[in-house]
Chains A and B, each alone.
Chain A
Amino acid sequence: MKSESEIIDVKTLPFTANFIWATGFMMQRFIEELASRKILGVKCPGCGYTYVPPRSRCGKCYAKIEEENLVTLSGKGTLVSYTTGHVALDGQGNFIDLQEPAIIGAIKLEDADSTIFMPIEGIEPRDVVEGLKVELQWREETKGELEDIRCFKPA
Chain B
Amino acid sequence: MIRRVAIVGYAQSHHQHNMQKTREDMVFEVCKEALHHAGILREDLDTVITASTDFLDGRTISSVFLSMAVGAFLKDESKVEEDGTFALYYALMRILAGTHDVALVEAHTQGSTLNPHQVSFYTLDPLFDRQVGVLNDVAAAGLQARMYMNRHSVSEEHLAKVAVKNIANAAENPCAHRQMPDVSLEDVMSSKLYYDPIRELTMSPISDGACALILASEEKAREITDKPVWIEGVGSCQDPYLRDRNIQNLDSLKSAANTAYKMAGVKEPLSDLDVAEVSEKFAHEELMIYEALGLCQEGQGKNLVESGTTRRNGEMPVNPSGGALGADPVCATGLIRVIEAAKQVRGEAGAYQVPNVRRALAHGQFGICAQKNTVYILGGNGS
Contact = CB atoms under 8 A, between A and B. Distances in A.
B135 interface: yes
A85 B18 contact: no
A35 B20 CA distance: 52
Contacts of B132: 117-119, 146
A106 B143 CA distance: 7
A82 B127 contact: no
A123 interface: no
Contact of B195 (A60, A104, A119): A104
Given A23-B127, A95-B117, A83 B143 contact: yes
A53 B20 contact: no
Size category, A interface: 35 or more
Contacts of A2: 20
A27 B244 contact: no
B134 interface: yes
A82 B146 contact: yes
Interface string B246-285: 0110000000000000000000000000000000000000
B114 A93 contact: yes
A27 B125 CA distance: 12
A4 interface: yes
Contacts of B155: none
Nearest to B135: A117
Given A83-B146, A146-B128, A115 B243 contact: yes
Contacts of B129: 117
A92 B194 contact: no
A48 to B, nearest CB: 14
A91 B146 CA distance: 25
Contact of B244 (A51, A82, A146): A51
Interface string B194-208: 111110000000000
Interface in B99-133: 114-115, 117-118, 121, 126-129, 131-132
A136 B135 CA distance: 18
Interface string B149-177: 01000000000000000000000000000
A31 B144 CA distance: 28
A101 to B, nearest CB: 8
Contacts of A82: 143, 146
Contacts of A4: 18, 20
A49 B140 CA distance: 23
Contacts of B247: 81, 106, 115
B195 A84 contact: yes
B136 A89 contact: yes
Contacts of B144: 81
B126 A19 contact: yes
B142 interface: yes
Contacts of A49: 244
Contacts of A125: 196
18 contacts: A4-B20, A23-B127, A51-B243, A60-B240, A81-B248, A82-B146, A83-B145, A83-B195, A85-B134, A87-B194, A89-B136, A91-B118, A95-B115, A104-B134, A104-B139, A114-B244, A115-B242, A117-B242
Q: 4 shortest A-B CB distances, which residue pairs?
A: A83-B142, A93-B115, A81-B147, A93-B118
